[in-house]
Amino acid sequence: VKIWTEPPYKTPIPEKYYHTANTTRRANAVIVMLARNSDIDGAESSIVQFETTFNRKFGYPYVFLNDVPFTEEFKRRMQGVVSSSAQFGLIPESHWQQPSWINEEKASRARDKMGARHVPFGTSVSYRNMCRFYSGFFFRHPLLLPYRYYWRLEPDVEFFCDVEFDPFLFMKGENKKYGFTISLPDDRTTIRTLRRNVREFVDKNPDLISPDNAVPMLLDTRKNGMKEYNRCHFWSNFEIGDFDLWRSEPYMKFFEFLDSRGGFYYERWGDAPVHTFGAALFARKDQIHFFNEIGYQHGAIAHCPEGPAFTRGKCRCSQAASIDRKPLSCLSRYDALFEGDVLV
């Protein structure tokens, strides 16, 4: 049993990772953005903020991915705002398109049903392709194969604080596998049978599951003692991760099992709940890191750092409006993972 002097979620980034901005020491890491050509303005806006707050000091390279070729204009605009290098990749059709073995009639019925219930992206096939791509394929893209660590970026996101430490060297040095800033419950209608399928996989492959894992944060105990899936998921529009987690045999088997069930199309399984189960099943809980220091916003939801990190990062955000302070956040369940282990 590992005894913590402080729970990992409250442990600030060690000083040694703050000194790396002024050195040439870098991790084998890449910034990844999947985008459509029409995302051009939002992509540029995210990168400008990302560069200002972090990357102009570190110079990590970018890989942009798309299911159709990027336009010359898209490339020119991105080249104009990155401080480092950028590569532009095309996703192979076999990593993107709805597979031929999916029963299109059944899939189309599912889309109609979700459309009628106004589920976000309920009728979209391309959104489902995107979720399946991020669940099982992006880490296998040829342009990403040379790298071990990644930071996933999306168009139209905001960064609130100056990041003066190297998160990749931190991941490497502290043996972390997955980093997040926001965690929330997912929409029930998009993942009706996901937990059932995960449980079947676990029952069939008990030897693949990590000891001391984070699965308990995904299960609430009901009054009658039954465990209930709370649909908490790390919001995957922000991820700092170790590709080896996804490239590992246990995760690959897990993805292939889920994929074979067709839920990416017969329901609308997101890459966020799938990655969350992946990280929770195949990493130890202390290998999943909450990046309190990184102030971040996607859509209407923001994470604004708590504690000394706010001042140190010169953060420009409202702590009161931060999701961490709202009951909706799943952060308390993540915190609770470490409670019994704390040595005071």
Binding mask 217-246 for Mn ion (x = CB under 5 A): --------------------x---------
Catalytic residue among 239, 249, 293, 339: 239
The H-assigned helical ranges of 51-117 are: 56-58, 72-81, 104-116
Question: Smallest distance from the beta carbon of 285 to ligand GDP, in angstroms?
Answer: 26
239 is catalytic: yes
Question: Smallest distance from the beta carbon of 327 to ligand GDP, in angstroms?
Answer: 22
CB 158 within 8 A of CB 53: no
Q: Which is nearer to ligand GDP, 9 or 127 (CB)?
A: 127
Residue 155, contacted partner among Mn ion, ligand GDP, none, CB below 5-8 A by kind: ligand GDP
Cα→Cα distances 337→9, 110, 310, Å? 10, 36, 24
Q: Which is nearer to Mn ion, 9 or 127 (CB)?
A: 127
| Residue least distant from ligand GDP (Cβ) | 126
Residue 297 touches Mn ion, criterion: CB under 5 A: no
Residue 259, contacted partner among ligand GDP, Mn ion, none, CB below 5-8 A by kind: none
- Residue 235: which of 119, 157, 127 has the closest Cα? 157
| Lookup: tokens for 212 | 């001391």
The whole-angstrom separation of Cα 320 and Cα 123 is 35
Cα→Cα distances 210→229, 308, 310, Å? 19, 33, 34
According to CB under 5 A, which residues from 149 to 178 bind Mn ion? Answer: 154
Which positions lie near ligand GDP, rule CB under 6 A?
34-36, 39, 66-67, 126-127, 130, 154-155, 237
User: What's 132's DSSP letter?
Assistant: H
Which residues form the catalytic set? 239
